[in-house]
């Protein structure tokens, strides 16, 4: 038995290699109207290495809670969602099917109270194991949003690690895995996570590099931009994918556990003035509800591309030359403005994940890709692109005429003292820091970032890496710091 357990755990550890694709499934998508309805059987499990069923919840006594017994369970003529979900392994035996617990709507207070109480922690762990084993799940995804925040306690910083430690021990003893969804925002990262300790307990770290901007701000922006926009300043310079990935790595997250999120939906606004529709355009209200997701300020990619396909004359699709992601506006549909991902921008992000050497990519959520193939005639175009790139393809940003409201005469400025390209720029004389550069029409805006202790800036990977790794590069770099 010990040998079998050892082999099982070894198989778990070997599954986290370059090319991991984690797919969240919004179980409530089964209730969406019309062509938006999404059943478990609509999941193309060949496009994911890990599938997460979202969500279970938490009772105040610490017991895990089935959110929607009718949809999730078989009892009382239910729809058997859990069993159908884990049943996908019958045709895809290598996939991991796990259960997510928490989510934004659950808040933080119940989880904070549970993590602080040894008895409630054990109630949570034992009830979770019972539920997972009953429905043949392969593990748990902890989606506590967020420790120390939103009604949590400062003690969560320590108690979260304690909870994960005990969960890991119990799950690994059953050959199961433990993953977690974590914040991409710097203030939350600093307050909520002892990154080295959290990372040690997790098999995968699902970094939610989206919702970086949204209708809670009175201006338009991209919710998942890879690098800062040229007009970003101050703290806004941290609201991008590259900063979040780099920051988690600098704080001690192992590259082979970190999974970068890519949203399969857009964030939307209603423009205050239809004549202002670039980045940072005034927009004090969320965009209108979509026909399927029915949430103000939010559109699934399927809703966006279907509308663009059926009413192409109503949309202006913009590829800002300074950014990797598209946005679009529809002045005939309530002055709607949306930032989103398409297959091209997702390919760029997947290539970024490869270049960074991290575990792979995660999507929220599989049920809002164009899974019916209505827009381009190909099902799951975004998720397919992610898979193609992570499988070894080298993605090159497509060459296209810029469709943009920005002045097309503006060119990339000449190299400055520290900046020559957007994004991280090395200091050839000092690898203990680097410069995060954004392109402005009149030059460059730079923001100095220092590497944490024991790391140096890797000019090849473009992030603060372990000193030994940087000093082993050929040709040699950082002669002053590697001496």
Dihedral angle at the C-alpha atoms of 405, 410, 416, 418, nearest 10 degrees?
A: 30
Cα–Cα–Cα angle for 414, 415, 416, nearest 5°?
115
Q: How many CA atoms lie within 13 A of 55 on its CB side?
A: 18
Q: At 13, which helix (H) or strand (E)?
A: helix 2-14
- CA–CA dist 481, 471 (Å, integer): 8
For the chain, how are helix, strand and coil distributed in percent, rounded to 5? 35, 20, 45
Residue 296, number of CB atoms within 10 A of its CB: 15
Q: Is 357 left (phi over 0), alpha (psi -120 to 50) or beta?
A: left
DSSP 8-state code for residue 453? T
Active-site pick, 39, 75, 145, 417: 145
- CA–CA dist 75, 233 (Å, integer): 54
Q: Which two tokens stand for residue 114?
A: 């549970």
Is 145 one of the annotated active-site residues of the chain? Answer: yes
**Nearest Cα to 171, choosing from 208, 142, 206, 207?**
142
**Nearest Cα to 339, choosing from 277, 382, 408, 399?**
277
Q: Which residue has the tokens 């300790």?
A: 197
Burial of 90 (0-12, 13-18, 19+ CB in 10 A): exposed
**Residues with a known catalytic role:** 145
């Amino acid at each position: 038995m010990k040998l079998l357990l050892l082999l099982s755990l070894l198989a778990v550890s070997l599954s986290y290699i370059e090319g991991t694709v984690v797919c969240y499934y919004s179980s409530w998508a089964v209730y969406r109207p019309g062509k938006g309805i999404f059943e478990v059987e609509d999941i193309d499990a060949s496009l994911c290495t890990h599938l997460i069923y979202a969500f279970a919840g938490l009772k105040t006594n610490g017991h895990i809670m089935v959110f929607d017994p009718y949809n999730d369970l078989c009892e009382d003529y239910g729809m058997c969602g859990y069993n159908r979900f884990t049943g996908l392994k019958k045709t895809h035996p290598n996939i991991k099917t796990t259960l997510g617990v928490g989510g934004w709507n659950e808040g933080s207070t119940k989880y904070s109270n549970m993590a602080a109480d040894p008895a409630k922690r054990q109630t949570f762990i034992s009830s979770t194991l019972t539920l997972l084993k009953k429905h043949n799940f392969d593990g748990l995804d902890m989606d506590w949003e967020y420790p120390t925040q939103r009604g949590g306690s400062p003690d969560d910083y320590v108690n979260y690690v304690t909870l994960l430690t005990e969960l890991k021990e119990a799950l690994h003893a059953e050959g199961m895995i433990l993953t977690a969804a974590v914040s991409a925002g710097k203030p939350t990262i600093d307050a909520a996570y002892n990154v080295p300790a959290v990372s040690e307990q997790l098999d995968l770290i699902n970094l939610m590099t989206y919702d970086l901007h949204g209708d809670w701000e009175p201006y338009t922006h991209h919710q998942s931009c890879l690098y800062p926009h040229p007009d970003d300043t101050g703290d806004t310079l941290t609201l991008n994918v590259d900063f979040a990935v780099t920051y988690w790595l600098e704080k001690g997250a192992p590259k082979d556990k970190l999974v970068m999120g890519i949203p399969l939906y857009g964030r939307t606004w209603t423009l205050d003035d239809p004549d202002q529709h670039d980045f940072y355009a005034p927009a004090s209200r969320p965009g209108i509800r979509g026909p399927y997701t029915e949430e103000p300020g939010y559109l699934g990619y399927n809703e966006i591309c279907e509308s663009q396909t059926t009413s192409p004359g109503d949309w202006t699709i913009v590829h800002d030359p300074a950014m990797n992601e598209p946005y679009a506006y529809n002045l005939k549909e309530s002055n709607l403005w949306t930032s989103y991902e398409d297959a091209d921008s997702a390919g760029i992000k997947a290539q970024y994940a490869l270049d960074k050497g991290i575990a792979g990519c995660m999507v929220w959520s599989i049920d809002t890709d164009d899974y019916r193939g209505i827009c381009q005639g190909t099902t799951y175009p975004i998720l397919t692109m992610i898979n193609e790139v992570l499988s070894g393809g080298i993605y090159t940003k497509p060459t296209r005429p810029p469709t943009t409201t920005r002045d097309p005469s503006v060119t990339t400025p000449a190299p400055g003292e520290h900046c020559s390209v957007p994004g991280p720029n090395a200091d050839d004389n000092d690898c203990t820091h680097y410069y995060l550069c954004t392109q402005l029409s009149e030059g460059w805006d730079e923001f100095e970032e220092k590497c944490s202790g024991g790391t140096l800036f890797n000019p090849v990977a473009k992030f603060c890496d372990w000193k030994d790794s940087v000093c082993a590069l050929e040709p040699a770099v950082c002669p002053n710091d590697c001496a």
